[in-house]
Structure 1
Amino acid sequence: MAASKFKIALIGGSGRMGRAIITVLSASSRSELSSAVVGPGSVFLSMDSGLHSGIKQNGVSFSSEIEEAIKGADCVIDFSTHQNLDATLKACISLKKPVVIGITGLTELQKEFLKIAAKEIAIVYSPNMSIGVNLLFKLTEIAAKVMGEISDIEIQDIHHRHKKDAPSGTAEKLKNILLETLGRTDKNVVHGRHGILKERDPKEIGIHTLRAGEVIGDHTVYFFTPEERIEITHKAQDRKTFAVGSVHAAEFLVGRNPGLYDMFAVLGL
């Protein structure tokens, strides 16, 4: 007899990432969509989530009943908005359900709430769920240990024109990896160079943000020395890369002890 699949409740199911996750779950051998939650005023309420995602009808209609959705799930994936995060976390804590948080643009207060919630439930939080991007994070850490003190370091972040936060959560994570690895602080970070009329500081880390067209997400970390240049780049070709990583993270969480996990833990990096 075949083992039953993990039941996944998706919060924020009607957006771009929600549609991608629904598509990935429709083809998964380990997990299945058990519910798809949208806001109470959404025009997508009661619509079949499979049809909305461009696949065949799946029998899971969009609902606004967040607690009911979470109650029937083995794990929750939240790709809604940071305004909705507190409600998701409170419901997950109350019902003792693990949750994958893919929302970017969290406030410092919300990040603290994640740490508190992680004492009660298992959480995966990452600014980027892509398996390839998390390899980018690890390679950046390795390169910084070898090249950081002898290089000029720059980060480039390119996304579609609709993205609201800048720099991206991924660029912020890259920055934090560099600062931690090299023992530097945000005082060493420069966002663009307009109006700066002095030579580049040796410990400076530059971040440059582009928002244009329909670019899904490109990130590059540069290490420049007088003799050579190292570029570590990840380019997302399809939003499904983030969805695949998110579903992988949800499957990792089922049965885990409470704690705040990242994608390095999920991938064993």
Structure 2
Amino acid sequence: MNKIALIGAGGRMGRAITQAISNTQESSLAYAVVRPDSYSIGFDSGLHCGIKENGVKFTSDLEEAIQNSDGVIDFSSVDGLEKVLSLCLQYNKPLVIGLTGLTSAQKKKIEDASNSIPIVLSPNMSVGVNLLFKLTEIAAKVLGDDFDVEVLDIHHRHKKDSPSGTANKIKEVLVQALERKESDVIYGRHGIYPERSTKEIGVHTMRAGEVVGEHTVYFFSPEERIEITHKAQDRKTFGVGSVKAVEFVIKQKPGFYDMFNVLGI
């Protein structure tokens, strides 16, 4: 059975992943890593996330967790990414990264590390969201410049990054499929604008309430409108996808993978 180290185990996503690991036959949670200043150190991670006691207590010993695991899932913060990468390289451990808000320099470090270890990087581990990415790609290639394109990203009021990592991935899919550039993307609108360019891609953000995550891609023509929407109703969907990702990456050679590879789409 695969021994999994979960970094960022005390957060919302950490709880969802802990629950998902408890339901798989292929893997078990071996380490639940939290910040050194976390109040939860020493608490049982199973009880913390609402399942039965699992005997895996929260720890801040990142090196021990990575060294003694078969695979690592990182849902902590971008600030700790460099240390996680360094330790995974040192101990030759497969890694799943679900962090958002990464800089270009951090993405480059991840790609460089994937030359030595297998890494799955995705801003969203949900099976449904990754199907949204694929459907967006197909629609964009079919509809082309005949349709105006807009993206709406809705999340809970606590979310810090905007647009979301998922919305940025949708934007990247659209830019590539439509053969456009980052300069064609408009992030929100305010004030007086000239008439909309046929190449323009609009990306908009809402932060309110406790919305788990909702993303819609709109394609508008003068005659019709196509909407592709994904609504996450429970974070369990992200946990299940994360477990699929780590069980996939453990079996891979060094390389840079995404959820399309994990799901075979």
Q: Distance in 2 between matches of 1:133 and 1:152?
A: 22
TM-score by length of 1: 0.97
Shift of 1:159: 0.2
2:91 maps to a residue whose letter is L
TM-score by length of 2: 0.99
Shift of 1:107: 1.1
- Is 2:174 the counterpart of 1:178? yes
Task: Kindly report which structure 2 residues correspond to 1:28-177, keeping only aligned pairs within 5 A, or say none.
Answer: 28-177=24-173
Q: Distance in 1 between matches of 2:125 and 2:22?
A: 19
**Residue aligned with 2:177, SS:** helix
**Residue aligned with 1:80, SS:** coil
Contact 1:50 1:57 in 2 (8 A): yes
Q: Distance in 1 between matches of 2:48 and 2:251?
A: 31
- Is 2:195 the counterpart of 1:199? yes
1:166 maps to a residue whose letter is S
1:37 maps to a residue whose letter is V
Shift of 1:54: 1.1
Unaligned residue ranges in structure 2 (runs of 5+) = none
Task: Kindly report which structure 2 residues correspond to 1:237-256, keeping only aligned pairs within 5 A, or say none.
Answer: 237-256=233-252
2:120 maps to a residue whose letter is V
**Residue aligned with 1:230, SS:** strand
**Residue aligned with 2:78, SS:** coil
- Deviation string 1:4-50 (CA, Å, 9 cap, x unpaired) is x2111000000000011111111211111010001111111111111
Q: Distance in 2 between matches of 1:224 and 1:199?
A: 15
Unaligned residue ranges in structure 1 (runs of 5+) = none
Shift of 1:148: 2.2
Percent identity over paired residues: 62
Question: Following TM superposition, where does structure 1 have runs of at least 4 consecutive aligned residues deviating by more than 4 angstroms?
Answer: none
Q: Distance in 2 between matches of 1:257 and 1:228?
A: 46
Shift of 1:225: 0.7
**Residue aligned with 1:123, SS:** strand
Q: Distance in 2 between matches of 1:148 and 1:154?
A: 13
